[in-house]
Structure 1
Amino acid sequence: MLNISPNKLNQKVDLHRFNSARKVFHRKHYKHLNRFLLVFAGIMMIVLFLPWTQTISGKGFLTTLKPDQRPQTIQSPIPGRIERWYVREGDFVKKGDTILHISEIKNEYFDPQLVERTGQQIQAKSLSVNSYQEKVKALNNQIEALTKEQGLKLTQARNKLMQARLKVQSDSIDLEAAKTNITIANRQYDRVVQLEGEGLKPVTSVEEKRLKLQEAQAKLISQQNKLLASKNEVINAEIEINRVRAEYTDKISKAQSEKFTAESNRFDTEAQVTKLQNEQSNYEIRNEMYYIKAPQNGFINKAIRAGVGETFKEGEQLVGIMPSDYEMAVETFVEPIDLPLIHIGEKVRIQFDGWPVIIFSGWPNVSYGTYGGEVVAIETFISNNGKYRILVAPDPDDHAWPEDLRVGSGANTLALLEDVPIWFELWRQLNGFPPNYYQPLDDSKTADKK
């Protein structure tokens, strides 16, 4: 009843005549209830002051600690066609085991003797290089011979020039003597003419002296001609020296030009040889790529391109492989607001999917089925899901993780922070505040790990 009316029913009706009323309405019931409430309130007050461990929850999945231990796909660096499979899905393969055989689909590589024919081209080009080397040696010998011959010719021409200059000097002396003779002849002739006019000399003496004077004049002219001829010989000797220099310079330059042409052809042929050797190495390496091999020990997960005769491009995924040797880790994600509370080396409790667990968030020591972990990496850039990625490795101080765990299965994590009273945690949760700003005790050790 709502007890709305001012007329109270218990004042008009005696409820004690009913068995139910006699069992309920008695003073002893109130006494027990009050005791119970007092005890419960006392227990609750004690519980409010019990320690509570603040945690940051996250959800992730199992992965490996090192990148090269994670599941991967095998690609072919060249396009091809699947010819034969040597494994089945689920098989265990060792590093270097052949997984499948492919064939070529590009027409420039169809020749089965491509490597041998390329080797023959290299051999022919190498012989051509040797021929050019011999030609260069021959031209060097020719240039050396021409240089020696040029030196001899120049020495001969310089000797002729020296002889011509000496002859010019000799003819110059003779010319001076001829000039002296003609001066003497002129004086003698004038003296004889004077004496003949005085009657002291006969006419025959005058004629003799005139004859001698004419002879001296003729000798002077002849000596002048000789001197000019000697000077011409000097000029001719100088011209001969220049001619020899020009002739042999032309010959040597021509031989050097042929030498440089031969060296250029040799260098070009050597470049072709190097290019052919590079192509041959590429062909040999390409032939090895026709057999797709396992990069490491592992299990074949899935054949992505399965059909025999199926073609594919370079870089396409062919088969997935899971390494057999790996170190397990948990990849979990936390909210950006909780990221400053996470530090390298902090302890984390992990619950794996498929393993029974009883979790007390604030009391990790009494939880059952959780495993210890330690933060080893914190991502510095936000992920696509709007959270930060954390990598957790097994805690060496805790018991080992289950052996039957598989990469990719789910996991829930609880990062352990400060211990606070329960009343403080309730107050924080009611107000929607974040956990206390937690800093590890050993900051230097944490900084070293970072």
Structure 2
Amino acid sequence: MATRDHALSRFRTLANMRTPRPLRAFGLMVVFGLIAATFFMIYVPWVQTAYGAGQVIALNPQDRLQNVTALVPGRIEKWYVQDGQVVKEGDPIALIADNDPMLLQRLRAERSLAEAKVAAAASALSTARLDVGRTGTLFREGLASQRESELARIKVAEMEAVLAEARAAITQIDINLARQSLQTVRAPRDGVIQRISGGDKATMVSQGDVLASFAPTQTRRVVEIYVDGRDVPLIRRGQPVRLEFEGWPAIQFSGWPSVARGLFDGEVQQVDLAASTNGLFRVLVQEAKGKTRWPGEPYVRLGANARGWVAMEEVSVGFELWRQLNDFPLQNPALIEENQNGGTARKEKR
């Protein structure tokens, strides 16, 4: 030590050097920052979440976008609507005319002729039944042969077949008339005509061809999100979900739901048993009861993109950081509950 002091006395500049105050302050800040970060990662809670992205859909299949199709073949005679028009249930959308403009008149004439045939067949059948009775009486009295009696019965059977055929013809004509009455395509329910396929009198359509797309109103909306298969076993029905809708301003902190702004609450309604074609599992999310309602139209429409975070277990920030760096799965609530129950049981035994 004496040698060191003697050496320093020979280097006066070195002896007068001291650690700069800014450097000492920076060192203290680093030390206190490390201590604060340690306490922060140990004691500050973080809510684990399972992330998924999807879109807004209608829960009832009848409330989803539908195609209005032609019920009979023909040509488009007239349009009653245009794109974006609001319609009520039963309002006409388009009129389809048959290629033969006189078809309805001809069908009605055929029906009148068929009715006349039915009447004639019914009269002939009544006469044939009378002949059977008379021939039977004569046969019992020995005035007619058995052959004549059998021919009379055969005549009755033939008349019954003719009458049945005439009635079947009337039924077929009625079916054709009913089909022609479907030439006016009507709105299946209240909604909006989203897009018309187009066409005029020169456009031929077949049965089942799409004429327009129709979007019903007053739908019950849900959000479908697709979640990774590693997180799906941990998702249960009724779990809370935080949702962010496309176009709606939001600030998200998935681990601190109380800090996030612009997000809406939901709850898990259903988890699909099988994976979708994209390899992910679909989770349906409905509005949470007693919470802020989701934005309505026109702010959030059917088909709008959405992102969701399913709330899982609460852990420390340090644990969550360690889990994500190692790419470990989320905490299993069943295992946590089992460990807690096991610890309680051991204490009771003691």
2:25 pairs, out of 32, 35, 41, with 32
SS at match of 1:112: helix
What are the equivalent positions in structure 2 for 1:17-416 lying under 5 Å apart? 26=19, 28-49=21-42, 50-105=44-99, 110-150=102-142, 251-274=145-168, 276-404=169-297, 405-416=300-311
**Corresponding residue for 1:158?**
none
Unaligned runs of 5+ in 2: 1-9, 337-350
Which runs of 5 or more residues in structure 1 are unaligned?
A: 1-10, 151-246, 442-450
Q: Distance in 2 between matches of 1:309 and 1:357?
A: 52
Count of residue correspondences: 325
Of 324-333 and 122-131, more deviation after overlay is shown by 122-131
1:128 shift after superposition: 2.8
CA distances 1:362-394 after superposition (whole Å, capped 9, x unpaired) = 112221111111222333332222222222111
More helix by share: 1
State how far apart, in whole Å, the 1-side matches of 2:87 and 2:335 are: 45
Once the 2 structures are TM-superposed, how far is the Cα of residue 401 of structure 1 from its aligned partner? 0.6
**Larger-Rg structure:** 1
Distance 2:245 2:226 in 1: 15
* 2:89–2:186 contact (8 Å) kept in structure 1: yes
SS at match of 2:154: helix
More strand by share: 2
Cα shift readout 1:150-192 (whole Å, capped 9, x = no counterpart): 4xxxxxxxxxxxxxxxxxxxxxxxxxxxxxxxxxxxxxxxxxx
- The two structures, once aligned, show a CA RMSD in angstroms of 2.8
Distance 2:176 2:160 in 1: 25
Q: Residues 34 and 264 (structure 1 numbering): CA distance in 2 closer, same or farther, change over 3 Å?
A: same
Report deviation, 1:60. Answer: 0.8
Q: TM-score normalised to the size of structure 1?
A: 0.66
Q: Which amino acid aligns with 1:39?
A: F
Identity %: 27
In structure 2, distance between residues paired with 1:359 and 1:260? 89
CA distance 1:115–1:51, change in 2 (3 Å): same
In structure 2, the CA distance between the partners of 1:421 and 1:253, relative to structure 1 (3 Å rule), is: farther
Aligned-pair CA distance for 1:266:
1.4
- Whichever residue aligns with residue 422 of structure 1, its letter is V
Residue 361 of structure 1: SS of its match in structure 2?
coil
The aligned amino acid for 2:163 is T
Q: 1:115 to 1:31 in 2, by over 3 A?
A: same
Q: TM-score, normalised by structure 2?
A: 0.84
Aligned partner of residue 365 in structure 1, secondary structure: coil
2:129 and 2:156 in contact (8 A); partners too? no
1:295–1:361 CA distance, 2 compared to 1 (3 A): same
Runs of 4+ more than 3 Å apart: 11-17, 27-31, 438-441
* Cα deviation code 1:102-148 (max 9, x no counterpart): 1113x6x8523133123213312211331232133213312431354
Partner Cα separation in structure 2 for residue 379 and residue 306 of structure 1: 41
